[in-house]
Chains A and B, each alone.
Chain A
């Protein structure tokens, strides 16, 4: 099975393809700009926003410093509340645990609430291989699943599809959706409601992720809009929750910080429609069995990076995606990982110990907008620069193109005659390109490093063809 943290081509190649997709760019511009403006308004409404951000940062930083103790406390409190805690070193082990729990109950289908963590480990595919069908129940996840696609945005995973595409998909793939189905979003949501309601009422096993898990009380929190997560966590007899080990928070009252930071940063609402907080098993209400799987899958490797560990503070709000000038143009798929955008550019290489996403720390102009909006103040630009250093030092690059190019340039700057000759030569050779308004995608010889991608290949920077140099112009035009 392919690794969802390392899916598809490297960013530079994927970004080039995405930039050529006009529909995608229109959808992205619309979504990022409208959420951006709404978020700013929702945040401006709270006079103590900065104090909340600082508390949000400090709680996460403190949690990470004693992560082992908080996880042991969480295990104790969940167990005391009637839940069962499992530990999974990697995605494969997690999928095996979840698959085993489902098989032991004889179920062949499960309903799933949206969970990036289960995306990250390819749970659906692993269950399918065991003969269990996992029904995605979030509307966007359903769209993505029916089209055999992958999510492109943390918050609105199907934002790369427009209503006509979704109507056609539902007509072809959604059980019960007829040829008369219109492309009105209300009608499309209704079709999904009818289809999923039957599943909710029949499924015996539900699967969810977790936004937060409180060590003090054993409470798991899931925030959502549609109600599908409430269905998945309330109606089936058995509930299995998969959470990354970094989602633990120490105390119940820490929720008062994150339940303010997350909705305003994510959907730009004062509060999301539904937040479900459950504590183990309640004999009179909801599932009779609750299993919590604590997943490492690279998080301990990320924790070992003293600068990078703050990436584990992320509460998956997606505000950084919506303000990022790179994301706005390339979309989520170009990042080739479950985690796109600025946070993905640091999280993916950290979770994989640089085995995947080595080009991602370069997928940024370091403009700092992501840091400004981050509700837990993750210094993404600092981690990006730090990871660029690690990528170079640890040789995750195939070719040290940029270093070679820079030293070649240094030689030329030291020898003015060579420099002038090189400029004239470049202007001469590129004249045909200028006339056709083209750009240079590949420089020859030692200069190739400038246009090549950090990992090698030809899709790094484009270069406008050089105009006649100032020196040349001065020589011709001086009085």
Chain B
């Protein structure tokens, strides 16, 4: 069926002719296998009697999100909108972040200490603040030298303790929240939905229209591969802190 190929050859040439053969043959096999299914078979209606929405009010959603993130042994705390910058600075201190990279689109008021417009940390002489700068698209290897990152999110799911990133401001590109070891994520209370179907529904348009890359983050990186003992932090950020502003 398949003739022997040289061990190393041009990939494009190698797949040129056989591919369409394979496509036709596989589709043909599938159609033959489905001989019992009528050609004009009406689509079966999918029963979707599961819950599509939630019933909690905003305060309860904040509470549930915080509780569920903590269940993953990640950190989460509610914070007043006006206090986000202070919360980020405290978090940097606590997590030992000296160099912080900030996703584009993160409001200046969320920067460590709530840096105001035109504020220049190198001139401010404020030694307590971590050195923060906006992500400049540096290579992944350079991200490895960064202590932590600050991002917003696209939305959050209370029931599962999930923050959802969509690769757009203020979430940052995917590598930004993957390579550095500490991730501080700010969720605004009005971004919280209760259940998974609400989140999937809200994301559909930006995936369909823009092909936005979506990442669900539920707690920090973890493994249970050795004797089923949970170890926090393997390849992704080992520390995740979610500040819920509202």
Contacts and interface: CB of A to CB of B under 8 A. Distances in A.
Contacts of A437: none
B220 interface: yes
Nearest to A98: B11
Given A65-B37, A300-B26, A55 B161 contact: no
Interface stretch (B92-100, B106-114, B117-125, B207-215): B207-215
A66 B5 CA distance: 34
Contacts of A156: 224-225, 228
B46 interface: yes
Contacts of A265: none
Interface stretch (B81-89, B126-134, B184-192, B193-201): B193-201
A272 B12 CA distance: 37
Interface string B1-20: 11001011111101100110
Interface in A270-327: 270-282, 284-286, 294, 296, 300-301, 303-304, 306, 309
Interface-centre pick from A61, A231, A270 (highest chain B CB count, 10 A): A270
B27 A71 contact: yes
A226 B223 contact: yes
Interface size range of chain A in the complex: 35 or more
Interface string B42-55: 01101111111000
Interface string A34-71: 11000000000001100110110011011001111001
A162 to B, nearest CB: 6
A330 interface: no
B218 A197 contact: no
Contacts, number: 289
A143 B227 CA distance: 12
Interface stretch (A181-189, A443-451, A452-460, A464-472): A181-189
How would you classify the secondary structure of chain A's contact residues: helix, strand, loop or mixed?
Answer: helix
Given A54-B47, A303-B34, A226 B144 contact: no
Contact of A140 (B12, B71, B173, B225): B225
A13 interface: no
Contact of A48 (B32, B49, B144, B233): B49
B22 A55 contact: no
Interface stretch (A2-10, A85-93, A359-367, A384-392): A85-93
A227 B33 contact: no
Interface string B129-166: 00000000000110010000000000001011110000
Given A104-B12, A280-B211, A273 B219 contact: yes
B128 to A, nearest CB: 30
B25 interface: yes
Contact of B223 (A30, A34, A189, A260): A189
B231 A189 contact: yes
Contact of B235 (A66, A100, A228): A228
Nearest 6 CB-CB pairings of A with B: A227-B236, A104-B11, A227-B235, A304-B33, A300-B29, A100-B11
23 contacts: A31-B228, A47-B51, A51-B47, A54-B49, A55-B47, A55-B48, A61-B44, A82-B211, A87-B23, A131-B8, A139-B234, A185-B231, A200-B140, A225-B222, A227-B221, A230-B215, A235-B140, A253-B201, A256-B201, A257-B48, A273-B236, A285-B173, A301-B29
